[in-house]
């Protein structure tokens, strides 16, 4: 279970890093694309925060 959660967190961080790079390197060609990428970043951050919180509660239960 823990290995799965760590793998998902790693994938989330990679997606976030790649998305941040797209925004910061100036390759965004429209406001619609920019909004999409910013929404993706918000979603990835939210999921990562929720997973961290759940993992913390899970580890405290042991």
* pLDDT at 45 (0 to 100): 96
* pLDDT at 38 (0 to 100): 97
Distance of CA 24 to the CA centre of its chain: 16
Output DSSP code: residue 28: -
Domain that holds residue 8: 2-61
> Of 50, 45, 47, 48, which Cα lies nearest the Cα of 20?
45
Domain count, the chain: 1
- The pLDDT tens digits of the residues spanning 2-57 come to 889 889 999 999 999 999 999 999 889 999 999 999 999 999 999 999 999 998 98
Q: For residues 33, 38, 42 and 43, what is the CA-based torsion angle, rounded to 10 degrees?
A: 10
* pLDDT at 62 (0 to 100): 67
């Amino acid at each position: 279970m823990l290995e799965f959660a760590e793998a998902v967190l790693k994938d989330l961080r990679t997606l976030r890093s790649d998305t941040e790079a797209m925004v910061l390197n100036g390759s965004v060609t429209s406001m619609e694309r920019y909004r999409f990428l910013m929404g993706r970043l918000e979603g990835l951050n939210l999921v990562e925060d929720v997973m961290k919180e759940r993992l913390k509660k899970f580890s405290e239960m042991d």
